[in-house]
Amino acid sequence: MLIAWVAMDYGPELAKVEIRVLGTVLVLATGGNLTVLLTLGQPSRKRSRMHLFVLHLALTDLGVALFQVLPQLLWDITYRFQGPDLLCRAVKYLQVLSMFATTYMLLAMTLDHYLAVCRPLRSLQQPSLSTYWLIAAPWLLAAILSLPQVFIFSLWEVIQGTGVLDCWADFRIPWGPQVYITWTTLAICVLPMAMLTACYSLIYHEICKNLEVKTQTQKVEGRGWRTWDRTSPSGPAAAMAKIQTGKMTFVIVLAYIACRAPFFSVHMWSVWDKNAPDEDSTDVAFTISMLLGSLSSCCNPWVYMGFNSHLRPHSALPSGTCRTLGRCPPFPGPLSSHPLGQR
């Protein structure tokens, strides 16, 4: 468990299931995000605003894999935490920091997409100072909001006098777990979901409104009727870019909600319901739900590559190749720098 105050004592079969699940998530999340990072990190590639956001979201997702999933996997294999008190606190700090970072980077990308669609005059294709501030903010907030983990977790003797230690939490007050997990759920799950939903609702409304206007023909005085030029940033190409963005961002948000909702629901259940499964539970659904918080970091890179062929390693072409082969991306203009639409 990521933010629980006790270690779960699973049976051997359930422990094997958990190890397999964590191992699968680790491989997929690491492989997918490294692919995105290596593709965007090519020296010859010119990075747009969208590329910068994808790059940093991939970094946060890779952080989830390496600082949250990997330590939990090793912990499950060894059963007890292996390491000094400082390492215990560092692991717990980085586990929550990675979740905060990936969530708030997703929000930053959502805000950037909102500005690109709803405030296009304020949005430029190339990165600006505001872009870098928007990228730095999630990292800074994550670093600050994760600090309580350092003071809550430490090495504790499992049973007095045995000398067996484990990395556990001490809230010192009976209602501490309820307050802390409720606050974490609000900060990482509930409020971000509400903000994502609100932003995407506004984006969807703006896209529908623009499509209705831009698909109409425009009468030119003295020249009869004409349609929008395909090369115009305001024409069908830009409209198609927005549609592509909308599809991908919908999938991203859906995956985010599907992965985070069960994870935080069972955490809330475990602290607010006295009849909820405890640390000795062998409930498979309860246990697996505790592991799904990192699943969105596993899905994100594959969604990016599915909707953006230029993020796939084999799609990288030398400069000028697309013009020679006639295979340039179909969505030119500033709006094509925001196909991501947001984690």
Partners of residue 157 on adjacent β-strands? 165
For 63, the token pair is 């952080």
- Per-residue tokens: 96: 């929550």
Structural contact between residues 192 and 103, judged by C-beta atoms closer than 8 angstroms: yes
pLDDT score, position 321: 39
pLDDT value of residue 84: 92
Q: Which residues pair with 166 in a beta bridge?
A: 156
Residue type, position 296, single letter: S
Q: Are 4 and 289 in contact (CB under 8 A)?
A: no
pLDDT at 209: 78
- Could you give the CA distance from residue 79 to residue 12 in angstroms, rounded to a whole number? 11
**pTM of the full predicted structure?**
0.78
Tell me yes or no: is domain 12-337 CATH 3.30.160.160. Answer: no
State yes or no: pLDDT of 341 exceeds 60: no
pLDDT digits (tens, 9 = 90+) for 200-253: 888 878 877 776 666 554 544 445 555 544 444 455 555 566 667 667 767 877
DSSP 112-147: HHHHHHH-GGG--SS--HHHHHHHHHHHHHHHHHTT
Express each pLDDT in 301-328 by its tens digit: 888 778 776 666 554 444 443 433 343 3
Q: Does residue 200 contact residue 253 with C-beta atoms inside 8 Å?
A: yes
Q: Are 294 and 73 in contact (CB under 8 A)?
A: no
